[in-house]
Chain A
Amino acid sequence: MKLMDKNLGLVEVQKLEGHTDRVWNVAWNPAADGVLASCSADKTVRIWEQSSLTRSWTCKAVLEGTHTRTVKSLAWSPSAKLLATASFDGTTCVWENFATDSESVSVLQVHESEVKSVSWNASGSLLATCGRDKSVWIWEVLPENEFDCAAVLTGHSEDVKMVLWHPTMDVLFSCSYDNTVKIWWSEDEYGDYNCVQTLGESNNGHSSTVWSISFNAAGDKMVTCSDDLTVKIWKTDISRMQSGEGYVPWTHVCTLSGFHDRTIYSVHWSRDGVIACGAGDDTIQLFVDSNSDSVDRPSYKLLLKKEKAHEKDVNSVQWAPDKESRLLASGSDDKMVKIWKLASEP
């Protein structure tokens, strides 16, 4: 694998200061280069933009006054016209034209307690939310920033930490304090969503809270991370599913353990195959499949470990969506957002 041969390092490009409390999540604008959003326990969302002239990042907008408690998670719609935010105040807000005179905010208030995560499907037609009340909600996206409840999914026995739509199919994934990952699928576009699979300890799943999920670009592999200090890789036969054969189960590929010594909060798979993990040990670690160029079975190896990436826990890592930049954003308990570049060390 070419990546393994180069002398690569994670170089800090810039430290973005501004949040006044821990940063829980970061999310890149999928439609515009150099735009990043972050959300925090300080109840605000900040939008950061890279200047095309100076190449440096500044805070372009602060979305405040709407959430009354911690903003835990945020997600841009695929067109980036809408930004959804999930808060401990129990609401999910969807912002349109934020920080302009035509700003409109829709407030979805259904969860009985803290909302932990929000995710858009690939086409932007569906929104999913989840929270401490153990439920997962699916919303149909209507014109004029309106939403209709399409499904309320119960099944997790504890707090649901994250929801994520598959990158190419309308299959929903959720992970929880109950140590499982659940997969929700609807037979047709009018059908109900049902839990078609649960990845738990009995099928090589995690033994403690699962915090985060991410898919590779092709959507045939998934990575999960947990309080059990491991990262797990899963796979499915995506072409069979896409050809309409019905649901094809995910199976465990391997477990990466012994790398982090505190809870791994966030995992993200880049378009060119690098898995980034952020953890409570203040490190960011990158993993790649050293056999990806060959027909051999995958073999995931540590590409690099960035010690003291932040002064405190790393809560979120996300690769920029474009193919060339190899930029990584991270958010931490130290209140900072950092931009990194995966590049050859001089």
Chain B
Amino acid sequence: MAVNYNAKEEADGHPSGVGASGGAGKSRKPDNTAFKQQRLPAWQPILTAGTVLPAFFIIGLIFIPIGIGIFVTSNNIREYEIDYTGTDSSSPCNKCLNVSWNSTPPCTCTINFTLNQPFETNVFMYYGLSNFYQNHRRYVKSRDDSQLNGDNSSLLHPSKECEPYSTSENKPIAPCGAIANSMFNDTLELFRIDNETRIPITLNKKGIAWWTDKNVKFRNPSGNTNNLTALFQGTTKPVNWPKPVYMLDSEADNNGFINEDFIVWMRTAALPTFRKLYRLIERKNNLQPTLQAGKYSLDITYNYPVHSFDGRKRMILSTISWMGGKNPFLGIAYITVGSICFFLGVVLLVIHHKYGNRNTSADIPN
């Protein structure tokens, strides 16, 4: 500290005599720049009732129609939801309530339901789980993204984050980790009942995952063969899976790590009650709605136990608008906020006119 100042003194070239003080003087004069004198040109806005009130009005006027628009859109979305957990003893799936992972033959059940209104546009089929903590920290981190990205060394040496789901029977698990291990494996099939005949409805299983996930983030291991079985040589299936990862689907571009059901599952949900996209039902032609009003039946291959943690399973059919699925929150919020703004605008305007107008004198800010 001390001689620091000493050095400075020397650098300054301290005048050694009385008369010499003028020598170094010139350079010491502060520059007359706007910045150094804190006189930069500046915009000095003042929030006054005069500027804010119209803004509130305008915002209110914008928000209310937006809110109404969203609300109407959301209300026009058709959504049908079936809870098929089977906790209720009258439910057809009640028999499957306590299934375990490896029960053979798999427990199946069928739920009939009626759609009162037709689903005109493309229909999206979701499965929903409740009380399932996909966002638990231990769960979220239990994956190896480089393995899923097709990295061959990670395939055989999964990250230790996957513990306790990284090896089984001394073989590395592919895909490792708790998320993959607990992949949802109920099979849902939809039939339209037309005069007692069950017409299967085509469920499209592609196009349900993010494009970037399917094409970049998830990749099968590489090698000089296209045979997935060979590529996954040396690994074993996750403990809870009935079949290994290379047998998830018959189609090559939907098999292994790039299986879309798997990719969807691997995107961990934000909240313990969540839905995930399961299948797409595309509109066949413009004449008929995708799903007509009428009777339907849902065939469930019930493999996924949720009862043990008090969970729930749902199947959701939903159409989609430009804003996504049915969500009344946004519309209501916009309408509310817009109304409050408008109301406040009116109240403030009254106050302003009553009290504020008399003093238009120049204001010293703040």
**Do A and B form a real pair?**
no
